[in-house]
Amino acid sequence: MPEGDALYRYAKMLRPALEGNVIRAARAQGPGPVPRVEKIIGATPTRIHATGKNLLIHLDNGLVIRGHLRMYGSWEVYRPGEQWRKSPRNARLVLETASAVAVNFNAPVVELIEERALEHYSPVANLGPNLLDDGFDRDEVIRRFRDPLLAGVTIGDALMDQGIMAGVGNIWKHETLFRCGINPWRTVGSLDEQQLVDLVDMARGLLRASVGLENDLGLRRRPRAHVYKRTGQLCFRCSTRLRAGPQGNDVRHTTWCPGCQPVVPGQPEPPVRMRATRR
């Protein structure tokens, strides 16, 4: 699934192609509901930005195109007449200006919303502070983590909750927990204030490094994965073989290092059910 940093890069790519340029033609197709393109044609994008895993294209007619990429969606930009790298059958939305063609492929959610209603529209309004925003509010995130209803939730699941903080997906969940030395199955209520602060700061730093922004971790580029998709391989730090198990309602694959992320007494044991891939 594209994460907050991927959406940030898509927004950055789309700005020179669309912002300030009249949309001369637009096409949309299913599966599922599609936006009414007659309301898009003739409009000019004025602002393009990502909030969490949503990409928003603000138009000068008071409407906003919202796209959520879920697992397989993407955006690409082409010159007029240039051959697409993906099949037109998978194009969900096509926006054409005089000098560029922006194509959304495979996104399950592409819709038009009135800008004045955006702050009350739950898929956007219910998001937590965006990790990539310059004005990111860490204290608000910590307050949300301290919701009594989250005390028994595993931290691996909580990090993926966009209502707490927006932008973390499966990759950065893995890497944040590893770098902080926290087992993914620890409950939120078992973590002290400093551990939560460290987790939030680490997640923000990793996402910012991934898109080339200044960060408190001192990283200048996207960091390599220590645990994500490395089940059964040896830990770079301690040489323990990495293990994996299903986590969350969607039974998502979670990998961790038993040496660097030990189980804390009194906390849940990870359900190891997945076969390791040895290398």
Inter-helix orientation angle 193-210/138-145, to 10°:
130
Distances (CA, A) of 76 to 11, 33, 100, 260: 11, 21, 10, 39
Q: What is the pLDDT of residues 228-254, one digit of tens each?
A: 999 999 999 999 999 999 887 776 889
What average pLDDT does range 197-204 have in this prediction? Answer: 96
What the block records as the tokens of 211 is 């898109």
- Spatial neighbors of 139 by CB under 8 A, at least 6 apart, are none
- What's the alpha-carbon Rg for the chain, to the nearest Å? 20
279 pLDDT band, cuts 50/70/90, is very low
Measuring CA to CA, which residue among 38, 104, 44 is closest to residue 69?
104
175-180-186 Cα angle (round to 5):
95
Q: What is the pLDDT of residues 21-66, one digit of tens each?
A: 999 999 999 887 889 999 999 999 999 999 878 899 999 999 999 9
CB distance 93 to 110 below 8 Å: yes
What average pLDDT does range 189-193 have in this prediction? Answer: 96
Q: Does residue 147 surpass a pLDDT of 90?
A: yes
CB distance 248 to 171 below 8 Å: no
The pLDDT > 90 percentage for the chain reads: 73
Rounded to the nearest 10 degrees, how much is the dihedral formed by the CA atoms of 222, 227, 228, 234? 120
Measuring CA to CA, which residue among 63, 62, 64, 69 is closest to residue 7?
69
Parallel, antiparallel or unpaired: strands 109-114 and 101-105: unpaired
Point out the least confidently predicted range of 156-170, 219-233, 254-268.
219-233
Q: What is the pLDDT of residues 62-75, one digit of tens each?
A: 999 999 887 788 99
165 vs 141: CA distance, rounded Å: 6
Walk me through the domains of the chain, giving residue ranges and CATH numbers.
Answer: 4-125 (3.20.190.10), 138-256 (1.10.8.50)
32 vs 8: CA distance, rounded Å: 25
CB distance 46 to 118 below 8 Å: no
